């Protein structure tokens, strides 16, 4: 078996063969996009250039459909909001100054489609990718989170996807040594053929150690380090090879390559330690992770962020497979690789550190004066492009936008007519039914597969409202994070839905005692070519940006994932919002479970209205989705947050749990079970008990305050205009949740209902 040496399509060859047919359509480029590439280059692109442009101009890399909308985040961010931001949208990840000389960086990313094709590896490499983004900023990755969406829990294929994704998130994150401090597990049939795997990573560094990727300084070396480059994820680009070689696997073409990448968390763990040592020894000028578009992305982005010139000797790239073409090497999505720019005098020290960690490092080129990215292959020029045209000047689309024709009908179909429970027996049974429903049941089956302890900084993780980590052992400064999104709310009203997601994440962070300071997002939508989807997207972006402006916290970064649909049916619009909070002393964190102190009073903060549009109750009991989502009041959320943080600071609050899906009933169940303590609850006799227990009105939190602090705390609420009501007392002796006038539920029975559901479905 002899490998045929590929004849390489050089720039010279391209100039001489202007009319050669190229498979640009198979690579996803439109006629006018291809024409523009020819115009930029003044000739047809080489195979390698075509590979680069096609992947960098894809929706995923170029944000061509979302760009015009995302700029709204920048427009709505004031200087005041920006004041704590050290890096924002456009960088690998946003960076926020959190005090004591610490900078925190965090970002979420999606890996949805790969996680359907090969759930384990798709999820694993999703985690790996976001961790490298954080690492590229110069930060030590500290924790991960994983907002997940799955199809109908009863459907046969859901089991495959759940098992694979959860094991993949755990397998990679556990082996990497990053605690998993939170996430989401949501089931809805719209995700049946298109689960969502979003992964978030948070890291920290000293403010002065912030590294932004750039490649300035003529003569600086470009070093590729980490794993070897193989045929991973180049399924699309294989059309180039097959075009030249007739597409037969045995003649050098590679028709049927899987687009699947396999992760190697061990290599990534070593890469993390190696990178951190490189940063600490100050032997790198800039660093870039290799993500979606591999070397195409890393070289063009590094070059355009610097002075613009770079020469890469592509044949030096260490390969894992034989006979790879330049186009394949440039497009390979092999994981666990990084690219650094290093001063010539630091190269020896750089290589020594890599050798210590057994990391393969190769000098693959240099920064040049001039403004072209030139890539050679065995001495022949295969790429010669202005790098900005690859990395940043891709196409921009103003896609048609149209409010869906059935949106009015959807909103008019309110849940008002749905049958409600009325007798105490029905209400009591509903508490258990809701607690055991797949979206409200305990997430333990999932989270027990994730290491939440490693690194010893985890202060709060599941089942708390937010994940919290200590970042400084001497001062006890820490950060808290929560991700949220209710796709049903967003479907009913994308603008309000995005704000509700923001409000919930904000509230979760504040509920644990931290002050929210910054936002990231992962916007999962259907096809941008569908005007109705674009309307949802535009509305959600507007809602989120306006909401952030009202709360005074900036969006520091995010990710857009389009084409999430099965056939022509889009998933529920799912703009996952992540909020980062700061807490100056993690020892004053507020736990979620009640019973930490004897004789606590239970207070409900906020207003409860008859709001059931998009609620979990309508979904579980009636399979209904219609009407309007709950009202958003961000000023109220802000006040609520301030009260909670003040309460934590002054030791007035011993536990708190925010109200969201399932309303007060579910919050009570969780607060009791997590705290392993019973409670006696009294409802307002003048109001509808069903509404009091199950409404999903926003802006509410259940707090437990020690008897001695009750007056001080309620006085503060009253003085600041926050409605509160006394809803019960903690009762350690009871061993039950007693709702007066309705009935009593022994904790053991509730625990069984809450904890048995996911094991029953998936064990």
Ligand X SMILES: Nc1ncnc2c1ncn2[C@@H]1O[C@H](COP(=O)(O)OP(=O)(O)O)[C@@H](O)[C@H]1O
The residues annotated with a catalytic role in the active site are: 60, 111
User: Applying CB under 6 A, does 541 fall inside the site for ligand X?
Assistant: no
What is the C-alpha separation between 595 and 369, in angstroms, rounded?
A: 67
Distance of CA 151 to the CA centre of its chain: 19
Question: Residue 599 has what DSSP assignment?
Answer: T
User: Applying CB under 8 A, does 225 fall inside the site for other proteins?
Assistant: no
What is the C-alpha separation between 63 and 397, in angstroms, rounded?
A: 9
Closest of 110, 88, 51, 19 to residue 390, by C-alpha: 51
Residue 376, phi then psi, degrees to nearest 5: -115, 155
CB of 288 to other proteins, least distance (A): 21
Q: Which of 508, 648, 654, 697 binds ligand X (CB under 6 A)?
A: 508
Distance of CA 225 to the CA centre of its chain: 26
User: Applying CB under 8 A, does 231 fall inside the site for other proteins?
Assistant: yes
What residue spans of 364-492 are helical by DSSP H? 387-391, 407-412, 424-435, 444-447, 487-492
What residues does 288 pair with on adjacent strands?
Answer: 339
Cis bond upstream, residue 167 (ω within 30): no
Q: Between residues 637 and 658, which has the closer beta carbon with respect to Mg ion?
A: 658
Interaction partner, residue 453 (other proteins, ligand X, Mg ion, none; CB < 5-8 Å by kind): other proteins
Mask: binding to other proteins, 344-363, rule CB under 8 A, as x and -? -------------xx-----
Q: Which residues contact 214 (CB under 8 A, 6 or more apart)?
A: 285, 286, 302, 305, 306, 341
The footprint of ligand X on residues 347-386 (CB under 6 A) is none
Q: Which of 40, 89, 155, 167 binds other proteins (CB under 8 A)?
A: 167
The CA-atom distances, in angstroms, between 674 and each of 363, 463, 635, 638, 653 are 54, 7, 30, 26, 16
CB of 658 to Mg ion, least distance (A): 4
Q: Judged by CB under 5 A, how many residues of this single chain contact Mg ion? A: 3
User: Applying CB under 6 A, does 447 fall inside the site for ligand X?
Assistant: yes
The footprint of other proteins on residues 571-590 (CB under 8 A) is 586-587
What residues does 702 pair with on adjacent strands?
Answer: 604, 657
Interaction partner, residue 146 (Mg ion, ligand X, other proteins, none; CB < 5-8 Å by kind): ligand X
User: Applying CB under 8 A, does 456 fall inside the site for other proteins?
Assistant: yes
Which tokens go with 713?
Answer: 């705390």
The footprint of other proteins on residues 269-328 (CB under 8 A) is 269-270, 273, 320-321
Please tell me whether residue 676 adopts helix, strand or coil conformation. Answer: coil
Q: Which of 508, 539, 574, 695 binds Mg ion (CB under 5 A)?
A: 508
Q: Between residues 181 and 341, which has the closer beta carbon with respect to ligand X?
A: 181
Interaction partner, residue 185 (Mg ion, ligand X, other proteins, none; CB < 5-8 Å by kind): ligand X
Q: Which of 452, 488, 619, 700 binds other proteins (CB under 8 A)?
A: 452
CB of 628 to Mg ion, least distance (A): 22
What residue spans of 57-155 are helical by DSSP H? 59-62, 67-75, 79-82, 112-117, 119-136
Residue carrying the six token digits 């009260």 = 643
The pairing of strands 373-377 and 380-385 is: antiparallel
Q: Which helix (H) or strand (E) holds 149?
A: strand 140-150
Q: Which of 66, 190, 194, 464 binds ligand X (CB under 6 A)?
A: 464
User: Applying CB under 5 A, does 658 fall inside the site for Mg ion?
Assistant: yes
Residue 411, phi then psi, degrees to nearest 5: -70, -30
Q: Between residues 314 and 498, which has the closer beta carbon with respect to Mg ion?
A: 498
Q: Which of 465, 611, 661, 696 binds Mg ion (CB under 5 A)?
A: 465
Return residues touching ligand X (CB under 6 A). Answer: 146, 148, 180, 182-185, 443, 446-447, 450, 462-465, 467, 484, 508, 658, 660-661
Return residues touching other proteins (CB under 8 A). Answer: 117-118, 121, 167, 170-171, 174-177, 227, 230-232, 254, 257-258, 260-267, 269-270, 273, 320-321, 334-335, 357-358, 447-459, 470, 473, 586-587, 763
């Amino acid at each position: 078996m002899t490998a045929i040496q590929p004849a390489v399509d050089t720039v010279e060859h391209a100039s001489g063969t202007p009319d050669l047919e190229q498979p640009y359509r198979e690579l996803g480029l439109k006629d006018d996009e291809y024409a523009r590439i020819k115009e930029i280059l003044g000739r047809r692109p080489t195979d390698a250039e075509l590979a680069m442009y096609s992947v960098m101009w894809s929706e995923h890399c170029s944000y061509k459909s979302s760009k015009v909308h995302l700029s709204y985040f920048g427009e709505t961010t004031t200087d005041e909001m920006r004041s704590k931001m050290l890096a924002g949208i456009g960088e690998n990840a946003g960076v926020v100054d959190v005090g004591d000389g610490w900078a925190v960086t965090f970002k979420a990313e999606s890996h949805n489609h790969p996680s359907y094709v090969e759930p384990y590896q798709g999820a694993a490499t999703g985690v790996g990718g976001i961790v490298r983004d954080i690492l590229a900023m110069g930060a030590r990755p500290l924790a991960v989170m994983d907002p997940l969406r799955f199809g109908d829990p009863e459907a046969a294929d859901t089991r495959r996807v759940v098992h694979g994704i959860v094991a993949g998130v755990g397998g990679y994150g556990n082996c990497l040594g990053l605690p998993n401090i939170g996430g989401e597990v949501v089931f809805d049939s719209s995700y049946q053929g298109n689960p969502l795997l979003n992964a978030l990573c948070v890291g920290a560094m000293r403010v002065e150690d912030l590294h932004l990727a750039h490649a300035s300084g003529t003569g600086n070396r470009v070093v590729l380090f980490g794993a070897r480059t193989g045929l991973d994820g180049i399924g699309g680009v294989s059309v180039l090879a097959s075009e030249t070689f007739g597409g037969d696997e045995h003649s050098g073409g590679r028709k049927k390559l899987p687009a699947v990448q396999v992760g190697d968390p061990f290599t990534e763990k070593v890469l993390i330690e190696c990178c951190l040592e490189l940063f600490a020894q100050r032997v790198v000028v800039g660093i870039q992770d290799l993500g979606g578009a591999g070397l195409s992305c890393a070289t063009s982005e590094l070059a355009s962020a610097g002075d613009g010139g770079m020469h890469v000797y592509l044949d030096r790239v260490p390969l894992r497979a034989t006979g790879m073409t330049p186009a394949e090497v440039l497009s390979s999505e092999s994981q666990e690789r990084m690219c650094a720019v290093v001063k010539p005098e630091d190269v020896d020290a750089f290589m020594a550190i890599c050798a210590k960690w057994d990391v393969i490092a190769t000098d693959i080129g240099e920064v040049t004066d001039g403004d072209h990215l030139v890539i050679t292959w065995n001495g022949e020029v295969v790429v010669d492009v202005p790098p900005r045209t690859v990395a940043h000047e891709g196409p921009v689309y103003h896609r048609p936008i149209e409010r869906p024709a059935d949106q009015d009908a959807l909103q008019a179909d309110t849940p008002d007519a749905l049958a409600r429970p009325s007798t105490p027996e029905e209400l009591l049974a509903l508490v258990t039914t809701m607690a055991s429903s797949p979206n409200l049941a305990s997430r333990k089956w999932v989270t027990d597969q994730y290491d939440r302890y490693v690194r010893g900084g985890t202060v709060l993780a599941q089942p708390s409202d937010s994940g919290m980590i200590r970042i400084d052992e001497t001062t006890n400064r820490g950060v808290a994070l929560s991700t949220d999104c209710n796709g049903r709310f967003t479907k009913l009203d994308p603008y309000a839905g995005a704000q509700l997601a923001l409000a919930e994440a904000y509230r979760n962070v504040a509920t644990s005692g931290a002050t929210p300071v910054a936002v990231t997002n992962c916007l999962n939508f259907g096809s941008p070519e569908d005007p109705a989807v674009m309307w949802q997207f535009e509305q959600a972006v507007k809602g989120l940006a306006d909401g952030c402006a009202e709360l005074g916290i900036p969006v520091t970064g995010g990710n857009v994932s389009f084409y999430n649909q099965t056939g022509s049916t889009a998933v529920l619009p799912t703009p996952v919002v992540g909020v980062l909070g700061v807490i100056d002393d993690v020892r004053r964190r507020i736990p979620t479970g009640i019973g930490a102190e004897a004789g606590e009073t239970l207070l409900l903060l906020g207003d409860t209205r008859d709001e059931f549009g998009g609620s979990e109750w309508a979904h579980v009991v009636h399979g209904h989705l219609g009407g309007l989502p709950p009202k958003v009041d961000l000023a109220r959320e802000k006040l609520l947050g301030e009260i909670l943080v003040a309460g934590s600071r002054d030791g007035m609050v011993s536990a708190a749990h925010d109200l969201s899906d399932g309303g007060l009933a579910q919050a009570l169940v969780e607060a009791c079970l997590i705290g392993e303590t019973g409670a006696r609850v009294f409802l307002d006799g003048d109001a509808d008990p069903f509404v009091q227990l199950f409404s999903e009105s926003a802006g509410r939190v259940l707090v437990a305050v020690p008897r001695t602090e009750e007056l001080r705390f309620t006085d503060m609420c009253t003085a600041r205009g926050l409605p509160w009501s006394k809803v019960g007392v903690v009762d350690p002796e009871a061993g039950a949740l007693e709702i007066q006038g309705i009935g009593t539920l022994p904790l053991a029975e509730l625990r069984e209902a809450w904890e048995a559901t996911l094991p029953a479905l998936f064990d």
